[in-house]
Amino acid sequence: MSKAIIISKTGGPEVLEWKDHDPGRPGPGEVLLRHDAVGLNFIDVYHRTGLYPVAESPFIPGLEGAGIVEAVGSGVTEVNVGDRVAYAGVPMGAYAEKRVIPAHRLVSLPEEIPTTQAAAIMLQGMTARYLIRGCYSVSAGDTILVQAAAGGVGLILCQWARHIGAKVIGTMGSEEKAELARANGCEFPILYNHEDFPQKVKEITGGQGVDVVYDSVGQATFMKSLDCLRPMGMMVSFGQSSGAVPAFDPGILAAKGSLFLTRPSLMAYTAQRKDLLDHAKDLFDHVLQGAINIRVGQTYPLADAALAHTELEARKTKGSSILTI
C-alpha cells in the first residue's frame, strides 16, 4: 500500500496527515505515475487553509510532481511505461507516492533534467514563462519590479528577465535574500522592511516608474506596487502570500496613469496541450542553455509536509522547495 498526505479538514499544517492510500488503476486516457519528488508551492497552503476552496473532502493537495510512468490506460498516446515525466497544474493530488493522472497533463523530460529538479521547476518555471511572455512580453530595455524576488518564482523571473536584457528591481525581507536575488539577476534589491520601495523604485528609474510589476505578495504590497508603475504600465497580481487584495475602485487605475491590471493563473495559460508543451519547452530550453539556474533551497521528506508548510509560511525558505519520496 502506498501512502499520501491527506487533508480531511482545512486548517493549519497539522491537518496534513500521512496515511495509506491506494491510487487505483489508470482508466482510459490516464496513467499511473510513481513520484520521485513533488513540488512545494504557496498555492498548496491556500488549498490547505481553505482560502482557495476545494470541491471534495478529504483530498490530496499538490499541483506539481515528477517521476516514472508505471502503467497506462487505454487510448494513451502521449507517454509510455517507463517514461520520465513531470507536470504542473490541475488535477490536484501530487502529495502522494503514486497517483493516477490524465496523460495529456504530462510532459516528457529531457535526459539532462533529473526528476528531482523537474519537480522544483514545473509550476514555478512555467509560471515565470507566462508572466514574462504572456501577461506582459518583456523586452530588452524594459524595467521590471519583482516582489518576493528571492522566492522560487522570483528567482526564475529575475534570471529570465536579465537574460532577455531587462533591468530588474526586486524586493525581499533580508540582506541574505538580497544577496541571493542579486546573484540571480536582480540588479537593484530593495529591503522592503527598511526602505520605502515605491520611492526607491522612482529613484532607480529616474522618476519614470517600471513597465511591469510582478506581485505575488498581495495585500501587503498591492497598492504600493501600483505606485511603482509608469503611465499605462502593467500590474500583474499572481499571488497573495500576505492575504487577499481588498476590493478597490477601478478608477484608481485611471488616477494613477491609466494602468493595466491582470490576475492570471497557470491553469488558464496551459489549459490547451499545445500551450502546455510550449511553456515546458521554452522553460527546458532556458534551463539547458544555462540562462536559468534552478536553486532547490530546501528538501523535505513527503511525510514531513507539515514542517515544509510551516517553514514556507514563516518565510524561512529560499528559492524552490521539494518533497521527496
Name residue 177's amino acid.
Answer: K
Average pLDDT over residues 213-220: 95
Residue 285: count of CB within 10 angstroms of its CB: 12
Q: Which pLDDT score, from 0 to 100, does residue 237 have?
A: 98
Which cell goes with 325?
Answer: 519520496
Q: Which pLDDT score, from 0 to 100, does residue 296 have?
A: 87
DSSP state of 59: B
Q: Which pLDDT score, from 0 to 100, does residue 242 have?
A: 87
- pLDDT range class, residue 41, cuts 50, 70, 90: very high
Q: Are 269 and 135 in contact (CB under 8 A)?
A: no
Average pLDDT over residues 143-168: 96
Q: Which pLDDT score, from 0 to 100, does residue 154 have?
A: 95
Q: Are 104 and 281 in contact (CB under 8 A)?
A: no
- pLDDT range class, residue 190, cuts 50, 70, 90: very high
- pLDDT range class, residue 268, cuts 50, 70, 90: very high
Burial of 275 (0-12, 13-18, 19+ CB in 10 A): middle
Residue 90: count of CB within 10 angstroms of its CB: 15
Which cell goes with 244?
Answer: 487577499
Beta strands in the chain (DSSP E): 3-6, 17-20, 30-40, 64-72, 84-88, 98-102, 107-108, 143-146, 167-172, 188-191, 210-215, 229-237, 260-262, 296-301, 320-324
Provide the phi-psi class of 262: left if phi over 0, else alpha when psi is between -120 and 50, else beta: beta
Q: Which pLDDT score, from 0 to 100, does residue 318 have?
A: 82
- pLDDT range class, residue 178, cuts 50, 70, 90: very high
Q: Which pLDDT score, from 0 to 100, does residue 7 have?
A: 98
- pLDDT range class, residue 295, cuts 50, 70, 90: confident
Q: Which pLDDT score, from 0 to 100, does residue 249 have?
A: 95
> DSSP labels for 157-206?
HHHHHHHHT-EEEEEESSHHHHHHHHHTT-SEEEETTTS-HHHHHHHHTT
Q: How high does pLDDT run on average in the chain? A: 96
Can you tell me the distance from the alpha carbon of 236 to that of 222, in angstroms, rounded to the nearest whole number? Answer: 10
- pLDDT range class, residue 315, cuts 50, 70, 90: confident
Alpha carbon distances (Å) from 254 to 44, 61, 145, 168, 205: 34, 39, 20, 25, 21
Average pLDDT over residues 118-136: 96
Can you tell me the distance from the alpha carbon of 306 to that of 272, in angstroms, rounded to the nearest whole number? Answer: 33
- pLDDT range class, residue 209, cuts 50, 70, 90: very high
Tens digits of residue pLDDT in 53-111: 999 999 999 999 999 999 999 999 999 999 999 999 999 999 999 999 999 999 999 99
Portion of the chain with pLDDT greater than 70, in percent: 100
Q: Which pLDDT score, from 0 to 100, does residue 217 have?
A: 94
Portion of the chain with pLDDT greater than 90, in percent: 92
More confident residue, 198 or 152: 198
- pLDDT range class, residue 213, cuts 50, 70, 90: very high
Asked if residue 264 has pLDDT above 90, the reply is yes
Average pLDDT over residues 107-125: 95
Q: Are 244 and 51 in contact (CB under 8 A)?
A: yes
Q: Are 283 and 126 in contact (CB under 8 A)?
A: yes
Which cell goes with 307?
Answer: 514542517
Average pLDDT over residues 180-204: 96
Q: Which pLDDT score, from 0 to 100, does residue 188 have?
A: 98
Can you tell me the distance from the alpha carbon of 65 to that of 87, in angstroms, rounded to the nearest whole number? Answer: 6
Q: Are 107 and 126 in contact (CB under 8 A)?
A: no
